[in-house]
Amino acid sequence: MEGTSHAYGGHNGSEILPPRQGMVVGAPRPAEVSPVGMVHKVMAQPAQSTASKMKGKVKETFFPDDPFRSFKGQPLRKKWLMAAKYLLPSVEWVPGYSLSLFRSDLIAGFTIASVAIPQGISYAKLADLPPIIGLYSSFVPPLVYAVLGSSHDLAVGPTSITSLIMGSMLQKAVLVSPTAEPALFVQLAFTSTLFAGLLQASLGILRLGFIIDFLSKATLLGFMAGAAIIVSLQQLKELLGIIHFTDKMDLVDVMASVFQHTDEWSWQTILMGACFLVLLLSARHVSMRWPKFFWISACAPLVSIIMSTVLVFIFKAENHGISVIGHIKCGLNHLSWDKLLFDPKYLGLAMKTGLVTGIISLTEGVAVGRTFASIKDYQVDGNKEMMAIGLMNIVGSCTSCYVTTGGFSRSAVNHNAGCKTAMSNVIMALTVMVTLLFLMPLFVYTPNVVLGAIITVAVVGLIDVPAAYHIWKMDKMDFLVCLCAFAGVIFISVEEGLAIAVGISIFRVLMQITRPRMIIQGNIKGTDIYRNIHQYEEAQRVPGFLILTVEAPINFANTNYLNERTKRWIEDESFSRNKSELRFVIFDLSAVPAIDTSGIAFLVDLKKPTEKLGLELVLVNPTGEVMEKIQRANDPHNHFRPDCLYLTIGEAIASLSGEANMATP
């Protein structure tokens, strides 16, 4: 057959390219034409042993960024230095650290400390933990991160979402109530933090960072918005001054609880809450409108705390129905490794909570790190960040801290305040340390309602309606995922909402494989280009040929579908028209990246119905891996002779129509 096509004259369309003016060096030069009538042979990739193929795949899977490529060919001494730099990114910036850098970091550090202190106290309350644990968590973890982390902008501490999840998950296990057994609850929080840290560090070490990729932006958007609503509704407890409030987290229970206890509403609390809400929201509005006044919203929480504390102190408002934090003992973090609880009764709960909070906080930390790295144009290594965040939480769990990560809001403040290196985290930690040592008595009169207002304003910022609208406009299925995450969190529970959204995302990917797009290609008049006839009006069917393209790997999940679909198309095509006209079916494999044994069986089976209808089936442009398997399937049976494999659709059509003509002169 190759002979026939040679005789006919090829269809490459290029051997006769005219000489061109104005071509950059090396663009295909018309001088080097191929022999007239050449039909190109389809080739497999150069043979590789299974072991070397496996090695390649493992490398692509786990080391797509090839972190050690710069190590190659370096002297041993330099290799050691580079390894140290790799493991401790701080080694990179410490030697060149200057006074001017320190000045920037000092300002940024004080600014984020003013955010971290009120947030620490508030978020700890959100997780139903004693407020001081929130401050502890803003002291040790930032120091660890400053040594290990590779981001210059990440500001470390507890975040609203992880606090919420930790509180709700630990509570939901009915056996532990923060009010009934506060010591046990704290122990469980430390244990969960340990598991979260272990998970994060091992994901980093095992280079399984891609697992967090399965939380798509749409999932996170819906999840965040749902969590924000749940959190702000929960704050109604503080904002209305309700004493008996539900422990549950879903919309229905929370709203029921709000209106069951209208008798507990306190007008003094409501008034104070409303005033500070307005204050905080205005500050936020100003900062969003004029970005250079970012410090107004950054300082607003601390200012609110100071103002409200002073107000309560002056008016003795704690005697008029406004609840205050009360006495907190001064002092730094206690060691807490002896409080870790490995009782089998609670182990499952702690591991599950660690898993969910670990994944969520990792996702937030890595995403925030990547965002600011891309703005300032430096590299953040995802797997290294995971190790840093993981180690920070492992150390944290032994020093009375709960789950921390690089939160978006405080990192944004850090970035805006002009931080240069991770030193700003150190400054923040030192400021928190001073607070822990000397300033705790000042919080005695801080009213809880202000903390509620701070949390509410912080989380309302997580509801991103324009982004949701953008997703709706771009992709309806993505929007569905977003909506499911949102509704799941609000109506069922935080972790189930997340699981549903991830499930739908994965199901959607699987459906793309199970029901792959198949298109019919046509020739664009007067060219050698073949394109989808439904996309390009100029693309017209080539009479006598049916050109089919599959756009997915062919595997067990779709061979039955492809089988039915292809048969139907071939039958429709050959019966609907003049029957004698259809002669050849061209199956274009250009967009099939992989094939498995079921897929090969499908290709072999496809020959039967086509032959029954008197048609000839040819394959076009199998990619390397597919070609390799076709060859292996050929090995004893010779299912696909070389003359039914072509490199391009054009060559196949030219060769086949030439042949057909020869046969019927």
Choose the stretch contacting its own copies; rule: CB under 8 A; options: 12-20, 226-234, 323-331, 339-347.
12-20
- Does residue number 662 form part of the binding site for its own copies (CB under 8 A)? yes
**DSSP secondary-structure letter at 528?**
S
Both tokens of 29, joined, read 């030069």
* Binding test (CB under 8 A) with its own copies, winner from 75, 291, 526, 580: 526
Of 149, 152, 153, 154, nearest to 88 (Cα)? Answer: 149
Which residue number, 22 or 291, has a Cβ lying nearer to its own copies?
22
| Rg of the Cα atoms in the chain | 32
Tokens 């704290």, residue? 186
Specify the residue, 44 or 101, whose C-beta has the smaller distance to its own copies. Answer: 44
Q: How far apart are CA 339 and CA 346, in angstroms?
A: 13
Q: Given the rule CB under 8 A, which of 146-154, 170-178, 308-316, 525-533 is the region that contacts its own copies?
A: 525-533
Q: Which of 79, 464, 536, 616 binds its own copies (CB under 8 A)?
A: 536
Which span sits near its own copies by CB under 8 A: 328-336, 340-348, 432-440, 537-545?
A: 537-545
Complex with its own copies: residue 318 or 625, whichever CB lies closer? 625
Binding of residue 78 to its own copies (CB under 8 A): no
**Residue nearer to its own copies on the CB measure, 281 or 477:** 477
Residues 491-510 that bind its own copies (CB under 8 A): 505-506, 509-510
What residues between 44 and 73 interact with its own copies by CB under 8 A?
44-46, 50, 54, 60-61, 64-66
Tokens of 152: 């210059």
Cβ at position 609, least distance to its own copies in Å = 9
Question: Please, which residue, 1 or 255, has the CB nearer to its own copies?
Answer: 1
- Unique residue bearing structure tokens 């190109």: 40
CB of 331 to its own copies, least distance (A): 42
Least distance between its own copies and beta carbon 473 (Å)? 6
CA–CA separation, 243 and 325 (whole Å): 14
Binder among 181, 253, 343, 475 for its own copies (CB under 8 A): 475
Token output for 365:
């930390």
> Segment 218-237, which members bind its own copies (CB under 8 A)?
218-219
**Under a CB-based contact definition with an 8 Å cutoff, are residues 335 and 443 in contact?**
no
Residue among 472, 511, 509 at smallest CA distance from 222: 472
Residue 577: helix, strand or coil by DSSP? Answer: coil
Nearer residue to its own copies within complex by CB, 288 or 506: 506
- Residue 374 engages its own copies in binding (rule: CB under 8 A): yes
Residue numbers 177-196 binding its own copies by CB under 8 A: none
Assigned token pair, 568: 């139907």
**Scanning residues 259 to 318, which ones bind its own copies (CB under 8 A)?**
none
Task: Give the nearest distance from C-beta 577 to its own copies in angstroms.
Answer: 12
Q: What angle do CA 224, 145, 363 make, to 5 degrees?
A: 25
Residue 573 CB, shortest distance to its own copies, in Å, is 14
658 binds its own copies (CB under 8 A): yes
The window from 89-97, 174-182, 227-235, 621-629 that contacts its own copies (CB under 8 A) reads 621-629
Residue 376: CB minimum distance to its own copies, A: 12
**Residue 4 C-beta: closest distance to its own copies, Å:** 10
Answer whether 177's CB lies under 8 Å from 247's CB: yes
Closest CA to 268 of 232, 208, 311: 311
At residue 210's C-alpha, the angle toward residues 599 and 385, to 5°, is 165
Phi-psi domain of 316 (left: phi exceeds 0; alpha: psi -120 through 50; beta: other): left
CB nearer its own copies, residue 56 or residue 418: 56
Residue placing its CB nearer to its own copies in the complex, 247 or 659: 659
Window of 25-33, 101-109, 273-281, 350-358 that interacts with its own copies by CB under 8 A: 25-33
Our finding on whether 631 is near its own copies (CB under 8 A) is no
Q: How far is the CB of 387 from its own copies (least distance, A)?
A: 17
Q: What share of the chain is helix, strand, coil (3-state, %, to 5)?
A: 65, 5, 30
* Residue 127 to residues 118, 136, 402, Cα–Cα distance (Å): 14, 14, 9
Q: Which is nearer to its own copies, 288 or 660 (CB)?
A: 660
Candidate ranges 133-141, 148-156, 291-299, 623-631; the one touching its own copies (CB under 8 A): 623-631
Residues 551-590, one symbol each (x = binds its own copies by CB under 8 A, - = not), give xxx-xxxxxxx--xx--x--------------x------x
Q: Please state the closest distance from residue 658 (CB atom) to its own copies, in A.
A: 5
- The answer to whether the beta carbons of residues 653 and 542 sit under 8 Å apart is yes
Of the candidate residues 78, 103, 579, 608, the single one contacting its own copies (CB under 8 A): 608
Helices (H), 76-159: 76-87, 90-93, 99-126, 131-136, 140-148
CB of 61 vs its own copies, minimal distance in Å:
5
Q: Total binding residues for its own copies by CB under 8 A?
A: 128
Cα–Cα distance between 581 and 523 in angstroms, integer? 17
37 lies in the site for its own copies, by CB under 8 A? no
Planar angle of CA 547, 551, 554, nearest 5 degrees: 100
Q: How far is the CB of 231 from its own copies (least distance, A)?
A: 25
Strands (E), 420-566: 518-524, 530-532, 539-540, 545-550
Q: Where are the beta strands (DSSP E) in 551-648?
A: 584-588, 616-620, 645-646
Give SS3 for 326: coil
Distance CA 602, CA 554 (A): 9
Asked whether position 470 contacts its own copies by CB under 8 A, the answer is: yes
What b/e readout covers 72-96, taking b as 16+ CB neighbours within 10 angstroms? eeeeeeeeeeeeeebeebbeeeeee
In the complex with its own copies, the residue whose CB is nearer, 66 or 92, is: 66
> 639 — phi, psi (to 5°)?
-65, -40
> Which residues in the 199-218 window bind its own copies by CB under 8 A?
210, 213-218
Q: Does 637 help bind its own copies (rule: CB under 8 A)?
A: no
Strand 545-550 relative to strand 584-588: parallel, antiparallel, unpaired? Answer: parallel
Q: Which is nearer to its own copies, 61 or 282 (CB)?
A: 61
18 is an interface residue for its own copies by CB under 8 A: yes
